[in-house]
Structure 1
Amino acid sequence: MQRPPLSPRSVIATAADLADAHGLTEVTLSAVARVLDVRTPSLYGHVRDLAALRDGVTILALGELADRAGEAIAGRSGREALRALCDAHRDYARAHPGRWESLQRRAGDAVVRSDEAARSSRGLGAVLRGYGIDESDRVHATRLVGSFLNGFLHLEHVGSFAHSAPPADDSWALLIDRLHGLLAHWHTKDTK
Structure 2
Amino acid sequence: MPRAGITAERLTLAAADLADERGFDKLTFSALARHFGVKDASLYSHVRNLAELRTRIAVLAGTELAETVGDALAGRSGRAALTAFAHAYRDYALGHPGRYAATQLPVDPEVLAAHPGPLTKIELTYAMLRSYGLTEPDLTDAVRLLRSTLHGFVTLESSGGFNATRPVEASWNRTVQALHTTLENWPKEA
Q: TM-score, normalised by structure 1?
A: 0.90
Is the Cα contact below 8 Å between 1:55 and 1:110 reproduced in 2? no
- CA–CA separation in structure 2 for the residues paired with 1:125 and 1:105: 20
Query: Aligned residues: percent identity?
Result: 41
- TM-superposed CA distance for 1:36, in Å, is 1.2
How big is the alpha-carbon RMSD for the aligned residues of Structure 1 and Structure 2? 1.9
- Report the alpha carbon displacement of residue 44 of structure 1 after superposing the two structures with TM: 1.7
| Contact 1:61-1:103 within 8 A present in 2 as well | yes
Deviation at 1:73, TM superposition (A): 0.8
Cα distance in 1 for residues equivalent to 2:109 and 2:36? 27
Q: Secondary structure at the match of 1:85?
A: helix
Please tell me whether the aligned partners of residues 58 and 111 of structure 1 are also in contact (alpha carbons under 8 angstroms): no
Aligned-pair CA distance for 1:189: 2.8
Give the whole-Å Cα distance in 1 for the aligned partners of 2:110 and 2:40: 23
Give the 3-state SS of the residue equivalent to 1:45 in structure 2: coil
Distance in 2, Cα, partners of 1:132 & 1:185 = 10
Instruction: Give me the whole-angstrom Cα distance separating, in 2, the residues matched to 1:80 and 1:90.
Output: 15
Shift of 1:138: 2.2
Query: What corresponds to 2:33 in structure 1?
Result: 33
Alignment length, in residue pairs?
Answer: 187
Q: TM-score by structure 2 length?
A: 0.90
Which residue identity does 1:57 align to in structure 2?
I
**CA shift in 2, pair 1:65/1:100, >3 Å:** same
Q: Deviations along 1:99-149, whole A, 9 cap, x unmatched? A: 111123344445554311211112211211111111433222111111001
Residue pairs, 1:21-170, within 5 angstroms: 21-109=21-109, 112-113=112-113, 114-161=115-162, 163-170=163-170
Q: What is the letter of the counterpart of residue 66 of structure 2? A: A
| Residue pair 1:61, 1:99 contacting (<8 A) in 2 also | yes
Structure 1 residues 134 and 37 mapped into 2: Cα distance closer, same or farther (>3 Å)? same
Distance 2:50 2:109 in 1: 14
Letter in 2 for 1:189: K
2:17 corresponds to: 17
Whole-Å Cα distance in 1 between the matches of residues 9 and 184 of structure 2? 41
Q: Indicate whether 1:189 and 2:188 are aligned.
A: yes
2: CA distance between counterparts of 1:111 and 1:148?
Answer: 27
Structure 1 pair 72–159 and aligned structure 2 pair: CA distance change class (3 A): same
Mapped contact 1:23–1:97 kept (Cα < 8 A):
yes
Distance 1:145 1:4, change over 3 A: farther
Native 8 Å contact 1:33 1:39 kept in 2: yes
d(CA) in 1 for partners of 2:104 and 2:154?
Answer: 11
Alpha carbons 2:65, 2:92 under 8 Å: kept: yes
Moved more, 53-62 or 104-113: 104-113
> Quick one: distance in 1 between partners of 2:29 and 2:109?
20
